[in-house]
Chain A
Amino acid sequence: MTEKELIKGCLRENRKCQQELFRRYAGKMLVVCQRYARHQMEAEDILQDAFIKIFDNISKFESKGSFEGWIRRIVINTALKNYSKKSFKNEQIGVEHVPEKALEPSIYGHLHEEELMNLILQLPDGYRLVFNLYAVEGYSHREIADMIGIQESTSRSQLVKARKLLQQKIIELQKVAV
């Protein structure tokens, strides 16, 4: 079934098409949810809410852009709604002592996707949120500031700290491996 047929079917509330759409995209979107959620249960809840929104609002999809991109945006927005701003605004994590020096790019090549996911999940909520939005999804600091209601400067500083923390954890992983 093509993407167009799938969308048309979902517009008609065809249950089979909806199930197929879920089957096709839920795997990738679950990963997105996991990156934003605090735990697996929350990730599944976000995924569920996001797909309900997708089915309810599929008529609003304009066939100009990527359908997967549209779905991803809904998933991310749903995940962001799950956060309360207070949960990470005042987070203070002691990462100032982490060296500034960038890691060798080859180091990342040795890491599996599961390990990368685990590293992200170990980040504090605020850092994880900004890192996900900036590094993985590709949003700008201005967009991130608008999306989650923080200052651009806060977004920048959270990103720097998130990177430092990730590098620190990657170094630790390397040490364990050696």
Chain B
Amino acid sequence: MNRRHPTDKAFSERLEHYSLEPPMDIWNRIDQKRDWRHKLSNHLRLKWLVYTVSTFAICLVTLVSLFSDLSKSINHFPIPLAKAERAQLVADQPEKANLEIPAPTFSNHPKEVNTASTTGVFTSTSIPTSPIPTTITSTQQEEILLIAPTIRIDEDDLATTVYPNLAQEEIVIIEGSTSSSESNESISLNVQKENTLAVELLSNDWKGLETNYTLGDELRITDTECAKFGPKKGQLFIDFILSPDIALREMSPKNAEYNDYVWAREVSEKSVFAYSAALRMSVVSGMGFVMRSGISYSQINEKFEHIDENYERTEIIKITNSLGEVIGMDTVTEYGTRIRTTHNRFQTLDLPLIVGYELYYDKFAFSINAGPYFNLSFRQKGSFLSPTNLQPISFSSNDPDGIKAFKKQLGLGWYGSLGFQYRLDNKVSLLIEPYFKIYPKSFTNENFAVRQRYFTTGLSLGIRRQL
């Protein structure tokens, strides 16, 4: 075992617990240097797994919604053509087909649905969605609507070919029309409860119906939704929006020493108006999910007014004779009230990263949006009262020697909005988007006397164009 050198031992033991009082300005420097980027990267490093999985999930959902062949577009009806053709083949050779009757579904409020459009195929059928309550009286006549969705059939052959089980029943076709353009037909069966299959079926439970009266899966209508006229697959839009805003300011002292200063600031400054503009791209998936990003500029304006009732102005004036020659100098002192007004402005440039969801109704669309705003730049210019002597002092981000009251960047802001669109034509829509935006952190530096934050709300008006 090595014996320690006495010099080493002496220094090591004596200095092991030696401590000094660190200057606290080091802490302030650390706190300032560790800006939002440090904190964000630290946060991301900690939660990388969660974010990776979330990002992967979002990407997956977006990709699926972008590329999946959903029956949302006008060109894609619920029943694929292949199924209709197969059904037609079956109907042409009914004797070879081992057909069963499709299970009827029942509803008090049947709704219309469009199905495959081929000649002679029933294409417009009333679709009930839930069974009728079994409390129907025996004398009550119900209009039971059966689905015969894809079978090519002549009305005369209905009872004997396709619905052999109904041959003994009283079937009355009360409506049947063919549209020459779309070959749409409607059929409904009016059935007397005492002697119709449907009423007989009502006494059975639903499972029984499924067992006895189903077509093969390939002939069943699996999707009864109407075709929607929303965006097909992924679509790209460019939005330009302008907004008059209201900026609400929250000012709080760093410590109690500055309570009076905050009060003086509140009295001398007032919000005038604010506005913002943004140019952004929107990617809308077939399912309505949206991702928006671009560039956003906003300006908050305030008016600073300072009244100095004891203003004193000294002026040296030249005394001239009638020839214009200077014959002497005079010092003039004026006393009075001086009102100094300055228009302060705070400009931000942000990178929004917004996600949302859009719903389409004919020419209208509604959206809900939220996401972070990454501040790229924060510039400011104006005057306010100095925290040291309550006298007006100018500030400007362009003046390196000026008072360092404000930050150069604001970090992360949060945005939320509701959007309303009206489609003018295939490519262009009008936008109205009430929104709010908040920067959680103070606009002022950490070592400044007050914390100053803003909550902005406005009504964005704009135009959207599909690319």
Binding site for B on A (CB under 8 A): 11, 13, 15, 18-19, 22-23, 26-31, 34-35, 44, 47-48, 51-52, 55-56, 59, 102-103, 105, 108-109, 111, 113, 116-117, 120, 131, 134-136, 138, 163, 166-167
Tally of A-B Cβ pairs under 8 angstroms: 103
Asked whether B6 is an interface residue with its Cβ less than 8 Å from the other chain, the reply is: yes
In the bound complex, how far is the Cα of B7 from the Cα of A108, in angstroms?
Answer: 8
If A56-B42, A59-B46, A108-B6 touch, does A48 touch B15 (CB 8 Å cutoff)? no
Contact across chains for A31 and B7 when beta carbons are under 8 A apart: no
Q: Which of B27-35, B58-66, B336-344, B425-433 contacts A (4 or more CB under 8 A)?
A: B27-35
Contact across chains for A103 and B6 when beta carbons are under 8 A apart: yes
- Interface of chain B, helix or strand or loop or mixed? helix
Binding site for A on B (CB under 8 A): 5-12, 14-23, 26-27, 29-31, 33-34, 38-39, 41-43, 45-46
If A48-B26, A52-B34, A113-B18 touch, does A135 touch B11 (CB 8 Å cutoff)? yes
Q: Kindly list 9 other residue pairs between chains A and B, CB separation below 8 angstroms, not including A22-B27, A27-B19, A111-B10.
A: A22-B30, A30-B22, A51-B30, A103-B6, A105-B6, A113-B14, A116-B11, A117-B18, A163-B5
With a cutoff of 8 Å between Cβ atoms, the chain B residues found around residue A27 in the complex are 19-22
With a cutoff of 8 Å between Cβ atoms, the chain B residues found around residue A28 in the complex are 17-19
With a cutoff of 8 Å between Cβ atoms, the chain B residues found around residue A48 in the complex are 26, 29-30, 33
The chain A residue with its CB closest to the CB of B6 is A105
- The 4 lowest CB-CB distance pairs between A and B, nearest first, are A108-B10, A135-B8, A27-B19, A26-B22
Contact across chains for A31 and B33 when beta carbons are under 8 A apart: no
Please indicate which of the listed interface residues B30, B33, B34, B42 has the most CB atoms of chain A within 10 Å of its own CB: B30
In the assembled complex, how far is the CB of residue B444 from the closest CB belonging to chain A, in whole angstroms? Answer: 16
The chain B residue with its CB closest to the CB of A40 is B23
In the assembled complex, how far is the CB of residue B152 from the closest CB belonging to chain A, in whole angstroms? Answer: 68
If A27-B22, A103-B6, A108-B6 touch, does A59 touch B42 (CB 8 Å cutoff)? yes
With a cutoff of 8 Å between Cβ atoms, the chain A residues found around residue B42 in the complex are 13, 55-56, 59
Contact across chains for B26 and A26 when beta carbons are under 8 A apart: yes
If A11-B46, A52-B30, A103-B6 touch, does A116 touch B14 (CB 8 Å cutoff)? yes
In the bound complex, how far is the Cα of B15 from the Cα of A131, in angstroms?
Answer: 13
Other-chain contact of B23, A29, A44, A51, A55 (Cβ < 8 Å): A44
Contact across chains for B7 and A135 when beta carbons are under 8 A apart: yes
If A44-B26, A163-B7 touch, does A59 touch B45 (CB 8 Å cutoff)? yes
Contact across chains for B6 and A52 when beta carbons are under 8 A apart: no
Other-chain contact of A52, B16, B17, B38, B43 (Cβ < 8 Å): B38
Contact across chains for B17 and A47 when beta carbons are under 8 A apart: no
With a cutoff of 8 Å between Cβ atoms, the chain B residues found around residue A56 in the complex are 34, 38, 41-42
In the bound complex, how far is the Cα of B45 from the Cα of A126, in angstroms?
Answer: 37
With a cutoff of 8 Å between Cβ atoms, the chain A residues found around residue B31 in the complex are 15, 18-19
Contact across chains for A117 and B15 when beta carbons are under 8 A apart: yes
Contact across chains for B26 and A138 when beta carbons are under 8 A apart: no
With a cutoff of 8 Å between Cβ atoms, the chain A residues found around residue B22 in the complex are 22, 26-27, 29-30, 47
In the bound complex, how far is the Cα of B9 from the Cα of A109, in angstroms?
Answer: 11
With a cutoff of 8 Å between Cβ atoms, the chain A residues found around residue B7 in the complex are 102-103, 108, 135, 163, 166-167
With a cutoff of 8 Å between Cβ atoms, the chain A residues found around residue B17 in the complex are 28
In the bound complex, how far is the Cα of B5 from the Cα of A103, in angstroms?
Answer: 10
Contact across chains for B18 and A52 when beta carbons are under 8 A apart: no
